[in-house]
Structure 1
Amino acid sequence: MHRVQLHYTLSRDAGNALIRNPLPELLQAVAEHGSISGAARALGLSYRHVWGALKRWEDQLGGELIVWGKGQSAQLSDFGTKLLWAERQAQARLAPQIAALHADLERAFAVAFDPNAHVLTLYASHDDALVALRKHAAAQADAGALHLDIRFTGSVDAIRALNEGRCTLAGFHTVEDAVADALTARTYKPLLQPGLHKIIGFAQRTQGLIVAPGNPLALHSLADVARTGARFVNRPLGSGTRVLLDDLLAQAGIAADVIPGYAHNEPSHTAIAEAVAAGAADVGMGIELAARARGLGFVPLVHERYHLACLKTSLDQPPTLALRQLLHTPEWLAQLAALPGYEPLHCGEVLAMSAVLPWWQFARKKRSHTPRH
């Protein structure tokens, strides 16, 4: 069975053909001019090149393409005729789809050649406000100057990706009053270092228990979840919400193994809400927006800050500057404030690490005074 591969050409002048394949062009030229030499002249190629190309195609496809009758000009074989017919049929049937794909590719690559456009790669803990931000940036009238390439992963993995150079920004979240010996501090402190990283403010959001409509099991705390044996659905290890949950359980003196379903993981807040909506779980930990979007109940537990971390060296580079400017605009701030469970918090501002990550405390250096003699 022969398979078809699609390729595209990227150049200043790639021609007008929507899909170009050299074999149909050779076959068409031979059919029109009745000889290899005539086809070569029409295509601006040498006789040797056209002859060699046809022979290579015959070997590759396993069939004769050109036949010569005694005293007759070169003609397409039955196989060659069917190949040319198939190509014409495909071009005719698929022309609208091919044209749309062609236009999409040109629009995508136009960004690469636009000096005013920027692409910013962001690895982040799952967050619906970032999805809204990506759409907002793409919808801007100024030719979409900022394009956000967002890949959702756990908070820990996001910061590691930043430190390994796989992204420019990392999104993660912490509660405001995290203490120095909490799991949150022990998790993030080795990954973020003063002098190397910078923190950009984004939002405050509410996390809590996503429950069925009306909260039929009357779950108002993690203690209620443990007491009632409600079926819980968790986030994976490495996610910021899993870190937050483990901290809250520790503060409440609740062992993880008394939470039914603690080992059952879902990859996002959306997936948590869908599990509860489908009746596969009674409760899960997630953001308010995910619950409200599916008509579920929500019990707020904590307010947390969502941060964007970057390396100090990229803070003033054009893509990061473009994002910081976008985050300051009244249009985005209004859109963020309208999301359930969200409010702007120092959005786009560069913040002191000691202020937003409370486990970092920097003592002021005292000046030493040497007595003069």
Structure 2
Amino acid sequence: MRIQIRPTLVFGNKNAKDPAVVDLVWLTSLLKDIEQGKTLMSACKKMGLSYRNVWQKLNNVEQALGFKLMDRVRGHGSHLSEYARYLIQFTDDFDQKTIRLGQTSLSHLEEGFAQFRVKAKKQWRLASSSDPIIQKAVIDIGGFELITAGSGEALERLLNYEVDIAGFHVSDPQSSKIISKRLQKEGMQIFPVMKRVQGLMVAKGNPHSITSTKDLLRPKIRFINRQKGSGTRLLLDTLLIKEGMDPRAIKGYENEEFTHSAIAMSILAKKADVGMGVKSVAIENGLDFIQLKDEIFFLAMGEELSANKDLAKLIRKIRALSGQTPGYKSIGLKKQILGWL
């Protein structure tokens, strides 16, 4: 950042809403070029300015001052008036007299800016799987930029140092151990924050009598899926494999949405009959819910951030909200998930 303190002329009375302001350094530099034999046109080119705009600006300054800065002689160019030479001398004297004060002031100003930059709160970047508790906690705490991404994408962004924190969820201990091992190898810290229930969301009253994933194979059932790379999509695919079901036989398997709320909206709009999501979103939107699987939600970050006060506030907020919300349970101790890490 380059900081300068420069003298300016302000034309107009103290109550003027839009007073004219002229940079004296700019003006005297232009006048000096003309004094050294340059034409106004060549002086403008040197400064990279429009001849027409500079001409108009000089006319405005002369009108405001009440005297001419240049004597313009047709065919002989422009010559500085005695008033212009006085203005150049005044500006040079001003610079000499204030250079020491200016340097001291600049030093103080730069020190002040440096202190404010240190004090300024860093905006931590959090890539997280879609979850209403995470979204609310981030809004309530502040200081975090939330990027909604699938669990896999969030982890990759963290490992590529594109974000500071990754939020992800896992539904079985074996997968959790594999992810944990990779993160720890890269020097990452992992915090379990909550347990949540995933399942099938259907219209109020469950008009199609859906009770399990096997009902997704029925020809008339329209399904809405989560995007590839999301933890919810991975959970569904794992359940389908376990049940020996072919995803291609599910009507709408290829239709994707990126959040739990978007799935709920599709069902409410009758664009789909069923979709995967968390219990809290189903309740919030007046949908029925068929529980399928519990899963653990984790936050991962570099070791240097693990003791950060802002992160500690966020974790406390997530745990507090999850303890108050149907379909969630707060997890504060690693002994609550023995065998997962």
Q: CA RMSD in A?
A: 3.9
By how many angstroms is 1:298 displaced?
1.9
Runs of at least 5 residues in structure 1 that lack an aligned partner in the other structure: 1-8, 15-26, 31-38, 76-108, 139-146, 361-373
The whole-number CA distance in structure 1 between the counterparts of 2:299 and 2:231 is 13
The whole-number CA distance in structure 2 between the counterparts of 1:116 and 1:295 is 42
* 1:296 pairs with 2:292: no
Map 1:268-283 onto structure 2 (within 5 A).
268-283=259-274
* 1:340 pairs with 2:326: yes
By how many angstroms is 1:46 displaced?
6.0
Residue equivalent to 2:9: none
Contact (CA 8 Å) 1:194, 1:353: kept in 2 or not?
Answer: no
Partner secondary structure for residue 139 of structure 2 = helix
Relative to the length of structure 2, the TM-score reads 0.66
Q: Which amino acid counterpart does residue 66 of structure 1 have in structure 2? A: W
Contact (CA 8 Å) 1:40, 1:46: kept in 2 or not?
Answer: no
Listed one character per residue, the Cα deviations across residues 225-259 of structure 1 (whole Å, up to 9, x for unaligned) are 22354111111111111111111111222111111
* 1:248 pairs with 2:221: no
Contact (CA 8 Å) 1:66, 1:74: kept in 2 or not?
Answer: no
Residue equivalent to 1:174: 170
The whole-number CA distance in structure 2 between the counterparts of 1:149 and 1:123 is 8
Q: Name which of structure 1's ranges 117-126 and 186-195 shifts more when overlaid on structure 2.
A: 186-195
- In proportion to residue count, which structure has more helix? 2
Residue equivalent to 1:355: 338
The whole-number CA distance in structure 2 between the counterparts of 1:284 and 1:309 is 28
Residue equivalent to 1:119: 123
Residue 31 (structure 2) aligned to one of 9, 29, 47: 47
* 1:328 pairs with 2:316: yes
Relative to the length of structure 1, the TM-score reads 0.61
Partner secondary structure for residue 245 of structure 1 = helix
Work out the number of aligned pairs and report it: 271
Residue equivalent to 2:90: none
By how many angstroms is 1:302 displaced?
1.3
The whole-number CA distance in structure 2 between the counterparts of 1:230 and 1:131 is 31
By how many angstroms is 1:28 displaced?
3.2
The whole-number CA distance in structure 2 between the counterparts of 1:299 and 1:11 is 63
Q: Which amino acid counterpart does residue 295 of structure 1 have in structure 2? A: G
Q: 1:169 to 1:112 in 2, by over 3 A?
A: farther
Q: Name which of structure 1's ranges 237-246 and 110-119 shifts more when overlaid on structure 2.
A: 110-119
The whole-number CA distance in structure 1 between the counterparts of 2:140 and 2:119 is 20
* Larger of the two Rg values belongs to structure: 2
The whole-number CA distance in structure 2 between the counterparts of 1:11 and 1:356 is 58
The whole-number CA distance in structure 1 between the counterparts of 2:304 and 2:139 is 27
* 1:148 pairs with 2:152: no
Q: 1:313 to 1:65 in 2, by over 3 A?
A: closer
The whole-number CA distance in structure 2 between the counterparts of 1:13 and 1:171 is 47
Contact (CA 8 Å) 2:194, 2:331: kept in 1 or not?
Answer: yes
Residue 20 (structure 2) aligned to one of 28, 35, 38: 28
* 1:134 pairs with 2:138: yes
By how many angstroms is 1:203 displaced?
1.0
Contact (CA 8 Å) 1:159, 1:191: kept in 2 or not?
Answer: no
Residue 161 (structure 1) aligned to one of 157, 164, 186: 157
